[in-house]
Structure 1
Amino acid sequence: MIHRRLIDIQDMVSGSGLLSSNENQLIEGVSIDSRTVKQGNLFIPIIRLKDGHLYVREAIKNGAVATLWLKNHPNPPTDIPVIFVDDTLVALQSLAKNYRKQLSVKVIGITGSNGKTTTKDMVSSIAKTTFTVHKTKGNLNSEYGLPLTVLEVSEKDDIVVLEMGMSQRGEIEMLSTIAQPNIAIITMIGVSHIANLGSKEEIANAKLEIITGLQEKGTFIYNGDEPLLQKINDRFHKKQLRTLTFGEQSSSNDFYPTKIEMNSGFMQFCINHNDSPVFTMNIIGKHNVYNALAAIAVGKELGIPMKTIANGLQKVKLTDMRMQKIMGANGLTIINDAWNASPHSVRMAIETFQELVGYRNKILVLGDMLELGEKEVDYHKEIGQRISPNKIDYLFTYGNLSKHIAMEAQKYFERNRVFSYTNKNALIENLTRTVESQDIVLVKGSRGMRLEDVVNILL
């Protein structure tokens, strides 16, 4: 993590007001949460729903040795060093950006409508076979999370894998400018956040902002099946970027699968490179093969042999709530994919789930897909049309939008096989009466639906 003198910190954040007697005070690490401050931290009081300045005293009690402070904000502390700044969030981002410049690491930046976290986990697992790696924890991919992740990087690390999330134009550009990646990945373009951005084309343009911070002669890896990502423009030529593509189509991609086999708990696949072995992953979902292709491309760029890349993929452990297979009570199997949902990710999850065999009943629990704009009802209806009554035994939906999934599916299912709820407790009550030993349940919905509550009851 960052370990610098306060005089250097002040310079990195364009701050002022540090007393000369405190210039050589060292800080180790940064926190924006007074509850998690560690000894030696610099505390940065962010103003969000609450004013972080109100928690500086608690941060000091928990070990903070210095703080930033918004100019003109009243009552700065007098018992620890203070650096005054114009905007504490901008200061956090500037500190991370300047720290990144001082690090001799390679940074891999990852964005996309779906698959960011899974691809991050795969890239990290591959890179760890050969290098010392630091990666984004959980889902800390925002204007706060990414700079905090950068500031946690050790000067002994070789590789940093950063996930970049967004909901508006300009956000990926800002994160990319902080991260200054050597390699950038766009996993795919979907319709998540279309309510904010207006069109899939604008979503693609927002994701392409990752090129802004990509270093000269860096590598841009993207989904070659997506026409919206094939806009090779001046940003590519000016930076002399190397481009690599992955996807399903053999005619338009540098990396594509030649064979995919899926079992109940793992997958095997081959790709179009002569030096590649058979890849095995202890996860399911055809869509994860394409995430793996992006990760394999990174491994090749880092000079890792294909056999070593295969070993890294086989050992990958996905972040929780991403097609996470867990055992519940009395032999029940649960696939927890409740972190988030979009039309693409729900379709892929259902496709995977429908192909699973060896279970007594297969039960779908789906929640609303949020932030889909004016076509949100249509997107939910389309999901309902994709659920096969020959491959799914029961469907439970939760939310005002997902009732349209149920209404469409009900056209094809027998009575008492489809249930729609706007009360989560009522859903859980019926679900727990329905599930039996040797059943399997897939749980998926947008973050705001908090369907992990259903998973926790089934455990």
Structure 2
Amino acid sequence: MIIRSLADIQTMIPGSIIDERYTSVMIHGVSTDTRTIERGNLYVPLKGATFNGHQFVKEAFDKGAAAALWSKHEPNAPKDVPLIFVDDTLVALQQLAHAYRKQLRTRIIGVTGSNGKTTTKDMIASLLGTVYRVQKTEGNLNNHIGVPLTLLRLKEDTEYAVVEMGMSGFGEIELLSTLAEPDVAIITNIGESHLQELGSREGIATAKFEIVKGLQRGGLFIYHGDEPLLQTRVQQCMLSHVETFGMAKTNDYYPLDIRVQADGTSFTVNRWPNEMFHMPLLGRHHVMNALAAIVVARFASIDVAHMKEGFSRLTVTKMRTEVIKRDDGVTIINDAYNASPTSMRAALELLGQLTGYRKKIAIVGDMLELGDQEIAFHEQIGEMIDPQSIHYVLTYGTRAKAIAERASERFRAGCVRSYDDKRKLAADVQALISAGDVILLKASRGMKLEEIISLLNE
């Protein structure tokens, strides 16, 4: 994490003002939240529509903060404490993070995409971690506040950092990319997430492609080569080093063989046709994320043996195809962190491909932020669910009713049900399941579908 004197901080944040009495004060790390602040931190009070962090500056000092930022436009600044006066505390946080990034020798891997960016981040960190000192984005710190905090948490001796970059509108990825200045930039895919804000898949592709704005001169750009919307943009942009991955053999990296097994997914790659990679994740769609990670590993000169080791010890962020084995013999696949039409189809296809289970039950909820086409997208999901490979479809939420309506046209009576009450849904599932069954949970984050797991245990 950043360890600097306030004199250093003053040079890193343009236009900042510090009382000369405090220039030798040292800060150890940065926090924007007094609930988790640690002794020696620099406290950054952010201001939002319904809150003002400046109200908690005294509390921050009481809890051991070494110093704090303070907006020049805020009245009643506390006396006789180390304050750094700035025009805008959020902008100052971003400026500090960018300046710190430029002082580090750490190589940055920037990851964005509509689906799979968190899992790809975890894979890259696992592969790189077999050889190098690596840090990665923690939790969901992937926005205009989270990325600066991620950069400021980097240790001086970290060799590689994997930084996830999320967005909801135009200009956001460009900001994050210019702050992080990645040595490698990755777009996992272009899906339908944020259609409500960006209007079309073309708009999503434009927004995601902003990641090249901060790419280091001569840096590596990696993208899903099966996506025409990305192909077109790459052709129009002067990038010196580009690698692609995908299913098509026109890509630099593509799979030759994919096998989904009870303990994970195995695959081979065109570059090493006789080498089988195995990862403890279920689903063919994860192979695309793995290919992106392999391209980064090659960039970092990691050999196949270490790649295999990295995949074998992979741990991913919770609620991303997380497999839970219950004591009663029921398996739960918790993929409830988020959902789009692309990831929903992939999850349902995975459930359909699984073998060795008595009953396969899909519990799916609303997919959010899909704009005017949201009902049509839900109907398409209902139409693609195969009654020959999935036995029950239970939906939660008003939009997901459209999934049930279309699916019920092909399923036996009683095998498709809609709910607006999680407790009722959980009670019916508990009455339905027995040893040897498998349940899939999939919905957008706002639906909190993972609560079904605890309700089943009541």
2:439 alignment counterpart: 441
Cα deviation 1:143-169 (Å, max 9, x = unaligned): 111110100000010000000000100
Which of 375, 389, 392 aligns to 1:391? It is 389
Tell me the CA shift for residue 261 of structure 1: 0.9
Tell me the CA shift for residue 114 of structure 1: 0.2
Quick one: distance in 1 between partners of 2:42 and 2:452? 39
Quick one: distance in 1 between partners of 2:390 and 2:200? 33
Which of 305, 308, 331 aligns to 1:307? It is 305
Tell me the CA shift for residue 104 of structure 1: 0.3
1:4 alignment counterpart: 4
1:98 alignment counterpart: 99
Cα deviation 1:326-377 (Å, max 9, x = unaligned): 1124111100000000000000000011011111211111010000011100
Task: Spell out the pairing of 1:267-306 with structure 2 (5 A cutoff).
Answer: 267-274=265-272, 277-306=275-304
Tell me the CA shift for residue 5 of structure 1: 0.7
Cα deviation 1:221-280 (Å, max 9, x = unaligned): 00000000112558842xx52000000000x20000011111122111111014762101
Tell me the CA shift for residue 427 of structure 1: 1.5
Cα deviation 1:395-454 (Å, max 9, x = unaligned): 111111000000001101111111101222221222222222221100010000011111
Tell me the CA shift for residue 391 of structure 1: 1.2
Any conservation in 1 of the 2:105–2:159 contact (CA below 8 Å)? yes
Confirm or deny that 1:427 pairs with 2:422: no
Any conservation in 2 of the 1:29–1:40 contact (CA below 8 Å)? yes
SS in 1 for 2:232: coil
Task: Spell out the pairing of 1:14-53 with structure 2 (5 A cutoff).
Answer: 14-48=14-48, 49-53=50-54
**TM-score calculated relative to the size of structure 1:** 0.97
Quick one: distance in 2 between partners of 1:132 and 1:63? 29
Quick one: distance in 1 between partners of 2:330 and 2:406? 27
Quick one: distance in 1 between partners of 2:235 and 2:441? 43
Task: Spell out the pairing of 1:198-217 with structure 2 (5 A cutoff).
Answer: 198-217=199-218
SS in 2 for 1:7: helix
1:243 alignment counterpart: 242
Tell me the CA shift for residue 293 of structure 1: 0.2
SS in 1 for 2:434: coil
Name the aligned partner's letter for residue 139 of structure 1.
N
4+ residue runs of structure 1 moved beyond 3 angstroms?
Answer: 232-236
Tell me the CA shift for residue 78 of structure 1: 1.5
Any conservation in 2 of the 1:328–1:458 contact (CA below 8 Å)? no
More deviation in 423-432 or 309-318? 423-432
Tell me the CA shift for residue 55 of structure 1: 1.3
Quick one: distance in 2 between partners of 1:189 and 1:65? 43
SS in 1 for 2:243: strand
Quick one: distance in 1 between partners of 2:144 and 2:347? 29
More deviation in 423-432 or 38-47? 423-432
Quick one: distance in 2 between partners of 1:276 and 1:158? 31
* CA spacing shift, 1:11–1:378, aligned 2, 3 Å: same
1:372 alignment counterpart: 370
Name the aligned partner's letter for residue 232 of structure 2.
K
Name the aligned partner's letter for residue 451 of structure 1.
L
Confirm or deny that 1:171 pairs with 2:169: no
Which of 335, 338, 346 aligns to 1:337? It is 335
* CA spacing shift, 1:7–1:276, aligned 2, 3 Å: farther
2:191 alignment counterpart: 190
1:64 alignment counterpart: 65
1:109 alignment counterpart: 110
More deviation in 385-394 or 428-437? 428-437
Tell me the CA shift for residue 201 of structure 1: 0.5
Quick one: distance in 1 between partners of 2:368 and 2:322? 21
More deviation in 381-390 or 159-168? 381-390
Name the aligned partner's letter for residue 225 of structure 2.
G
Cα deviation 1:151-194 (Å, max 9, x = unaligned): 00000100000000001000000000011000000000001001
Aligned length: 456
Tell me the CA shift for residue 458 of structure 1: 3.1
2:405 alignment counterpart: 407
Identity fraction in percent: 48
Quick one: distance in 1 between partners of 2:8 and 2:266? 50
1:13 alignment counterpart: 13
SS in 1 for 2:381: helix
SS in 1 for 2:328: helix
Any conservation in 1 of the 2:427–2:456 contact (CA below 8 Å)? no
Quick one: distance in 2 between partners of 1:235 and 1:151? 34
SS in 1 for 2:18: coil
Any conservation in 1 of the 2:423–2:455 contact (CA below 8 Å)? no
Question: For structure 2, which runs of at least 5 residues remain unmatched after alignment?
Answer: none
More deviation in 97-106 or 413-422? 413-422
RMSD of Structure 2 on Structure 1 (CA)? 1.3
Quick one: distance in 1 between partners of 2:111 and 2:267? 23
Question: For structure 1, which runs of at least 5 residues remain unmatched after alignment?
Answer: none
Tell me the CA shift for residue 12 of structure 1: 1.5
Quick one: distance in 1 between partners of 2:72 and 2:8? 19
Cα deviation 1:193-230 (Å, max 9, x = unaligned): 01100110110010000000000000000000000011
2:79 alignment counterpart: 78
